[in-house]
Amino acid sequence: MNGPSDQDRAFARQGRIVALVIAAGGLLAIFAPSLIAVTGLPQRYEMLFYFAALGAFAWALVVAVGMWRNRPSGK
C-alpha cells in the first residue's frame, strides 16, 4: 500500500497551519486584557490585539475556503 502523496501532505500541512492560526488568534483575544495589565501598556493597545486576532480569523477563513474549493478528490 502506498503512503500519502506529496499533494496530500501539503494539504494536511496547510490545514495544520490554519488550525494553529485559529488557536493563536483565539488565545490572543482571550488573553488580551491580561497582556495589557501585565505589560502596563495603555488600554488602546488592547484593541490592537483584538484586531490582530480578527485578522488571523479572517486569514484562516479565506485559506480554509480555498482549501475546501481545491480539496483533493476522494479515492
Tens digit of pLDDT for each residue in 26-54?
999 999 999 999 999 999 999 999 999 99
Provide the 8-state DSSP code for 69: H
Give pLDDT, residue 19. 97
Task: Measure the CA–CA gap between 59 and 15, rounded to whole angstroms.
Answer: 13
Whole-structure pTM value: 0.85
